[in-house]
Structure 1
Amino acid sequence: MTTTGSMTLFELPMGQEGTVSGAPGASDERTEEQEIALRLFEIGFIPGERVRVVARGYPGGDPLAVRVGDTMFALRRFEAERVLVTPACEAAR
């Protein structure tokens, strides 16, 4: 967890709601990282959106079933680690 109370989506405990607080930034250079960031943005992982980890794969928690807004998605760990979230209890402060 970072000092601001944000954590990655992968670190968010199962069942706890959070709010997307950040994602990888954009740049002019088209890299694999930017492709992942664009995909996450296009499916709804934008700052302010509600998220909840609904299920985790076994073993190791990969992949994750994540509800973003009213839609469910499966994300791999490397994708979930690129989305910053603020847990609901932190967002209320």
Structure 2
Amino acid sequence: MTDTIKLSQARRGDRGVIVQVGGHCHHKEHEVELERRLLELGFVEGAEVELLHEGLFGRDPIALKVDDMRVALRRREAASLIIRRVAA
């Protein structure tokens, strides 16, 4: 199983590798700022991610394992990350 999805579409237990950061927002200045923040948090191309937990209301926020770190994101922020899913 190897397909490409937005990280915001992932479900609990999904694993993958980041293949693209950015390119989601319609407002250029917001897109650049979000991409910078995501990169600072370790969301870089090639990083391994796993969705660990989803919030109770609207499945938001999501808790992720990024390489060896744990990070929480809103799904709208996660929509800026494209991952290639891999089998668990």
- TM-score band, normalised by shorter chain: 0.7 to 0.9
Distance in 2 of aligned mates of 1:58 and 1:34? 30
Q: Which residue of 1 aligns with 2:83?
A: 85
**Count of residues in correspondence between the two structures:** 82
The one-letter amino acid of 1:47's match is E
The answer for the alignment partner of 2:74 in structure 1 is 76
- Corresponding residue SS for 1:37: helix
Structure 2, unaligned stretches of length 5 or more? none
Q: Where do residues 11-90 of structure 1 align in structure 2 (5 Å cutoff)?
A: 11-24=9-22, 31-89=29-87
Q: After TM superposition, give the deviation of residue 86 of structure 1 in Å.
A: 0.5
Greater relative contact order, per chain length (Cα 8 Å cut-off, separation 6+): 2
**Secondary structure of 2:35 counterpart:** helix
- Runs in 1 of length 4+ with deviation above 6 angstroms? none
The aligned counterpart of 2:4 is: 6
TM-score (norm 1): 0.81
Q: Distance in 2 between matches of 1:69 and 1:83?
A: 15
Q: Which runs of 5+ in 1 are unaligned?
A: none
Normalising by structure 2, we get a TM-score of: 0.85
Q: Superposition RMSD on alpha carbons, in Å?
A: 1.6
